Amino acid sequence: MTRPLLLRFVSILGASTSFYLLLSVVPGYATAGGGGGWTAGLATGALMLATVVGELATPALVNRYGYRAVLAVGLGLLGAPALALVFTPNLWWIVTVCLLRGLGFAFTVVAGGALTASLIPAERRGEGLALVGIVSGVPSLVALPLGVWLSAHMGYGVVFTSGAVVALAAILAVPGLPDRIRTSGRPVGISEGLRTAGLRRPAVVFAVAAVAAGIVVTFLPLAVPASATGLVAVALFVQPAAATLARWLAGRHGDRHGSAGLVLPGLLLSAAGTLLMALTRSPLAVVVAVGVFGIGFGIIQNATLTLMYARVPTAGYGTISALWNFAYDAGMGAGAVAFGWLAAGTGYPWAFTLTGTAMLTAVVPAWRDHRAATRAEARGTKAPALARAPLQ
DSSP 375: H
DSSP 90: -
State in Å, rounded, how far the first CA of the chain is from the last one.
Answer: 35
pLDDT, tens digit, 9 for 90 and up, residues 340-391: 788 888 988 999 999 999 999 999 999 999 888 888 766 655 544 454 444 4
Q: Mean pLDDT, to the nearest integer, of 129-148?
A: 81
pLDDT class of 182 with cuts at 50, 70, 90 = low
At residue 238, does pLDDT exceed 80?
yes
Question: With 90 as the cut, is the pLDDT of residue 25 above it?
Answer: no
When pLDDT is averaged across residues 164-170 and rounded to a whole number, the result is 96
- The answer to whether 183 and 313 have CB atoms below 8 angstroms apart is yes
Provide φ and ψ at 339, rounded to 5°: -65, -40
Q: Is the pLDDT of residue 185 over 90?
A: no
**CA-CA distance, 98 to 51, in Å (whole number)?**
9
64 half-sphere exposure, CB direction, 13 A CA radius: 5
Distance of CA 106 to the CA centre of its chain: 10
Tell me what pLDDT residue 388 has.
42
pLDDT, one tens digit per residue, over 56-81 is 888 889 888 988 999 999 999 999 99
pLDDT at 389: 40
Whether 26 shows a pLDDT value over 90: the answer reads no
The total number of residues shown for the chain amounts to 392
Residue 373 is predicted with a pLDDT of 83
pTM: 0.79
Residue 34 has a pLDDT of: 65
d(CA 254, CA 252): 5
| Arithmetic mean of pLDDT over the chain | 85
CA dihedral sign of residues 247, 252, 255, 260: negative
Q: Are 26 and 83 in contact, with CB atoms under 8 Å apart?
A: no
Task: Give the C-alpha distances (Å, rounded to integers) separating 221 from 119, 202, 213, 226.
Answer: 39, 30, 13, 8
Q: Which residues contact 264 (CB under 8 A, 6 or more apart)?
A: 363, 366, 367, 370
Which domains are delineated in the chain?
A: 1-181 (1.20.1250.20), 183-392 (1.20.1250.20)
Q: Which residue has the higher pLDDT, 128 or 71?
A: 71
DSSP 8-class letter at 227: T
